[in-house]
Amino acid sequence: MVEKHNEKKTVVVGMSGGVDSSVTAALLKKQGFDVVGVFMKNWSKDVGDYGCTWAEDSEDARKVAHVLKIPFYVWDFEKEYHDRVVKYFLREYRAGRTPNPDVMCNSQIKFKLFLEKTLKLGAEFVATGHYARVTDHGSHNAYHLLKGVDPAKDQSYFLYTLTQKQLSKVLFPIGGYQKTEIRKLAKKFKLPNFAKRDSQGICFIGKIDVTDFLKTNIKAKKGEIVSTNGEVLGQHDGLPFYTIGQRSGLKVGGNGPYYVVSKMKRKNQLIVTNSPNDKELWKKEFEIKNVTWTADPPRLPLNAGVVIRYHHPAFRARITYHVSRNKKNLKIKFNQPQRAITEGQSAVIYQDQKILGGGVIDKIF
């Protein structure tokens, strides 16, 4: 496997103000690239009790760029984020699904708008601080997207929509490192944010209470919480505010804890169980839509590993074509039942370290 060579080419690094993207810029400069730092301003509103930190984060990125002696700019994608990511996020929750905004953020902003603007300005590559790897095999379907070597930080799950064209223009310099090594490198490079804590939260907003954010933006009717045995246990705040497998926040007493197993939209009922082994919580088969592949589509049927949520292990499954509602989706059947398969989440298909592609979970059987 051969990594892409720099040959004194220009790379634009998406710098968030965090340690990972800062070390990304430092490593690329050390490798001989002409590096340009860019902070993407995607969100500036305070949400609930959480203040938006974009101004501080952009200043942290600027300080790093100053230390590295590289040009630095702020690109404003706030309108595009709202139109392409936030609206999608809220629309999916209103429909009773649980979307993954980080996947949409990557496909629509970082590796679409950001990449397109970078190439128009004459740069050869974009780079981000994702824990993933891209290798070039020098042939048709040359670029392979691989897991990051640190299993605790691997972010390949969020990148499954990348195509060959995008992979040929993307660099992930820290994907071959452990997180502990990145911290040490930040200190070695004398980066001013070497001790900054990792950010947690939604891609476009940051650290927030998701339920509070949803309740601020979605009007929903309260309804009954009903057990799988038909017993009315309490009242829910609105179906969009719950997700399959959820345990906390149900406010149901009695013989708990209870877990959400489904949503009965027609009756506006939230169905729960107090058995973690309830068959309604564990399913084997589902359908995915909006399927994309990182290279040419593989021949189906295919046996491969499938991941149904971030940091969930890849479990063996059989993947086949499934024509549904006049659309050619894929049907996935696990060898063993999996807990809380959730509509709206992404199912990502792996062969060992390599990401083949994936899609959005659409129907569970």
Q: How confident is the model over 234-292, as pLDDT tens digits?
A: 999 999 999 999 998 898 877 879 999 999 999 999 999 999 999 999 999 999 999 99
pLDDT in tens, 297-329: 999 999 999 999 999 999 999 999 887 665 779
B/e letters for 211-227, b = 16+ CB within 10 Å, e = fewer, are eebbbeeeebeebebbb
Higher pLDDT, 251 or 337: 337
Residue 1: pLDDT band by 50, 70, 90 thresholds? very low
pLDDT averaged over every residue in the chain = 90
DSSP 57-79: HHHHHHHHHHHHT--EEEEE-HH
pLDDT on residue 323: 74
SS3 of residue 114 by DSSP: helix
Cα torsion through 108, 110, 111, 114, rounded to 10? 100
Every domain of the chain and the residues it spans: 10-188, 220-273, 282-364
pLDDT in tens, 86-102: 999 999 999 999 999 99
pLDDT on residue 31: 96
Q: Of all helices (H) and strands (E), which one includes residue 348?
A: strand 346-351
Residue 6: pLDDT band by 50, 70, 90 thresholds? low
**Residue 228 identity:** T
Residue 121 has pLDDT above 90, yes or no: yes
CB 214 within 8 A of CB 259: no
Higher pLDDT, 278 or 201: 278
Residue 11 has pLDDT above 90, yes or no: yes
Q: What amino acid positions are annotated as catalytic residues?
A: 105, 203
pLDDT on residue 322: 80
Helices (H) and strands (E) counted in the chain, each on its own, are 9, 17
Q: Which CATH superfamily is 220-273 part of? A: Adenine nucleotide alpha hydrolases-like domains (2.30.30.280)
Q: Of all helices (H) and strands (E), which one includes residue 279?
A: none
Q: Comparing 4-8, 37-41, 168-172, 265-269, which segment has the lowest mean pLDDT?
A: 4-8
Q: In what order do the strands lie in the sheet with 223-227?
A: 232-236, 223-227, 269-273, 259-264
Tokens of 273: 């169980």
Residue 187: pLDDT band by 50, 70, 90 thresholds? very high
What's the CATH code, domain 282-364? 2.40.30.10
Tokens of 287: 């359908």
Q: Which CATH superfamily is 10-188 part of? A: HUPs (3.40.50.620)
pTM here is 0.92
Residue the block writes with tokens 């390949």: 156
